[in-house]
Amino acid sequence: MPLEPARIEHGRAVLASGHALVAVEGDLVREQADALVNAANEELAHGGGVAGALASAAGPELQAESDRWVDAHGPLATGRACATGAGRLAARCVIHAIGPIWRGGRNREPELLASAVTSALEVAREQGCASVALPVLSAGIYGYPPRDAVRVIAAALRAWCAAHPDELPREIRVVALDAGLAEELGQQLGQQLAG
């Protein structure tokens, strides 16, 4: 029987706003949170990467509900987020966030990535989620340089938390499969206390 992948916290920062930011090395699918954030595409077609892993664990209900959302609202724009049920996942909902495809950094990629993070947190707040776990959006098949993505995500989290003191979600986890990236996350999130 294969061993379960390790889940290691590489940093936890409690901000003046009362929010806890946590850097995790592990598998997003296994995180225990009210909401899991999916690195989705505009059609909410959950084929590979984080989306494929979440869809596999959630069962066919996740794709069916995503299809109904797109049928009702049309494609989800880059930088935006929406929520669906979570199927068989332990979470209450899945928040689908559309990060940008990396095109060299001159096509508003940092702005769109920050917007995707902010939109995901807004949806989590609207859904009444006390905890949310998200991946390093856009750093997989969308090609965003991972360490640059971590810096943008950390800054977006800090800005959102400062603007929403004492509001849900109270704990925000950023999850990376790679140990080095999780360590970078820990350093970036830890700097939020001084930021």
**Whether residue 57 has pLDDT greater than 80:** yes
Domains in the chain, ordered, with CATH?
8-193 (3.40.220.10)
Quick: pLDDT tens for 163-177: 999 899 999 999 999
> Chain-wide mean pLDDT for the chain?
94
Look up the pTM and report it.
Answer: 0.95
Rounded Cα distance, 156 and 96, in Å:
17
Rounded Cα distance, 143 and 145, in Å:
6
Look at residue 145 in the predicted model and tell me its pLDDT. Answer: 98
Average pLDDT (67-79) is 98
Q: How sure is the predictor about 194, in pLDDT bands with cuts at 50, 70 and 90?
A: very low
Quick: pLDDT tens for 106-131: 999 999 999 999 999 999 999 999 99
Look at residue 195 in the predicted model and tell me its pLDDT. Answer: 43
